[in-house]
Each structure stands twice: as structure tokens, then as C-alpha cells.
Structure 1
Amino acid sequence: MSRATTELPTVARAFLALPLPATLTTLRPDGTVHVTPVRFTFDAAAGLARVTTRARTRKARNVATGGPLARGALCQADGLRWITLEGRAEVSDDRTRVAEAVRRYTDRYRMVPPAPPDLVVIEITVERVLGLNL
């Protein structure tokens, strides 16, 4: 499967709603990849994936220093099923955007995420979706 987010089949949207972790891949300033496990949310209507994190984490710094060319990829897997959401990434400390990310996280994982004072949200505008066995 490779398609735009608006064309996601129901089974793919259902899979993305499961409270599973994923890996987030970002690029370091030297071009090497950084992969880390995360919890995330996906807003299919907006085509937006969100990850809350601390501002000083490597993943947040990678996105922040990447500027308008920053990219991110989230991959959620369960056995032989997987889906990857790829797109332009941006980090924000805007209170409204962070609050929306926290609200969606709480809905998905049935728990409030950690709330350090430097909480930010990484938003990935999904441009490509890849998957298998969905």
C-alpha cells in the first residue's frame, strides 16, 4: 500500500487507532538517521501525526535544525502488519498545538503523557503512507 492519507482504507485507519508504540525516524544534522520508540497520534482528516516530547531531545532538535526540509517517518508494527507515515516535520511549543497533541494522546493511550516544562510537539504532515498486510 502506498497512497495519500485521504485514501486510507478503513483497516489501515483502525490499525493506526490501536494503542501501539511506533518508531520515529529523523535526520541528524550530519545526515545520519536517528530512530527512537515513541507513542504518537494520527489525525487522518488533517493528515497529521503528532509526537509529544521534550524540547531538548535529539528527535526534537533534529526536526528543529532541519528547518523547512525537516522530514520524519513513523512506523507502527504488529507482527507482520505495519504502516509507515512519512512527511514534512515541524516542532512547536505553541500551547494550543501541544494541548491538542496531549488531548489526542490521552484519548488514544488512555493516560496523560508526561508533562515536563519544556514539552513540545513534533507534527508530521503526512505525504506518503506505506504498509503491509493491512
Structure 2
Amino acid sequence: MAHDLRDPAPEYLEFWRERHVCTLTTPRPDGSPHVVPVCVTYDHEAGIARIITRGGSAKAANVRAAGAEGALVAVCQFEGKRWATLEGVAVVRTEAERVAEGVARHSARYGRTPAPNPERVVIEITVTRALGRV
């Protein structure tokens, strides 16, 4: 079921504020899917989903390998019969203010602040499609 990105149902946005482990699917350089568990935040107003990670992680490497245009990716979460997927174009951001925003949003959603990590980056996904049943 598709959701209007400009005006999603309040239940859909609330589901993205609840604490859930998600999955991120990125394309490997050979085109095969790489799926890993992640923590995701969704900034509906900006149309951006964020994942903080280590710069040398496979997920960051896969996104970088797609080039400057970014990688087509999906993040998904579920609980029982409720599920939600965000699809879009991901890029790796290294700017301190972008990483700090990713950490702050992570802390707010997941209730803990990650330990400092000088290798931390943020994968920013410009959301192009929202799907789900909540």
C-alpha cells in the first residue's frame, strides 16, 4: 500500500517514531542485494531517512560505489502485521553537522546516544516512495 509522501497518515509517521530495528537493502557493485539490520530515523518534513554507521562498513561502501548520483536503496521495519518501507536514493555524508544531526535523531528515536566514533558517517536517503500497512 503506497502512502502520500506529502501527507502520510499520522499512524504511518508514528510507526517511524517507535523503536524498531530495521533493515537496509543496498546494491552491491555486482548488483546483488546486501541486506543488514540498522537503526533508521525518518525526517518526514525534509523527506530524508538517516542511518549512522562506520565509514568503512559494507553498507557505506555499497552506497559510495553507486557514484555521485547515489544508490537506490530501501529501509523496512515491521512488527506483527504492521510494516513500513521507505525507498529512495542514498548518499554517504561525512560533514560534521550532518553526522551530528544523524546521531541526535538516532538518540531521540532509540533512547540512547551512541559512543563517539571518529569514523562515523551518515547515510542519507532522499525518500521517493513510502509503502506499508500500519
Name the TM tier (shorter chain): over 0.9
- In 2, the alpha carbon distance for the partners of 1:113 and 1:21 equals 15
- 1:127 counterpart residue number: 128
- In 2, the alpha carbon distance for the partners of 1:19 and 1:77 equals 11
Deviations 1:60-107 (A, max 9, x none): 000011121411110010011100000000001110100000011111
- 1:100 counterpart residue number: 101
Cα RMSD of the aligned pairs, angstroms, is: 1.0
- In 2, the alpha carbon distance for the partners of 1:37 and 1:114 equals 19
- 1:71 counterpart residue number: 72
What number of residue pairs does the alignment pair up? 133
- The 5 A counterparts of 1:1-134 are 1-67=1-67, 68-132=69-133, 134=134
- In 2, the alpha carbon distance for the partners of 1:24 and 1:16 equals 14
- In 2, the alpha carbon distance for the partners of 1:3 and 1:107 equals 24
Q: Given that residues 50 and 123 in structure 2 are in contact (C-alpha distance below 8 angstroms), is that contact kept between their aligned partners in structure 1?
A: yes
Gaps of 5+ in 2: none
* Identity among equivalent pairs (%): 45
Deviation at 1:7, TM superposition (A): 2.0
Q: Given that residues 4 and 127 in structure 1 are in contact (C-alpha distance below 8 angstroms), is that contact kept between their aligned partners in structure 2?
A: no
Deviations 1:4-53 (A, max 9, x none): 42221000001110011100000000000000000111001011000000
More helix per residue? 1
TM-score, L = length of structure 2: 0.95
Gaps of 5+ in 1: none
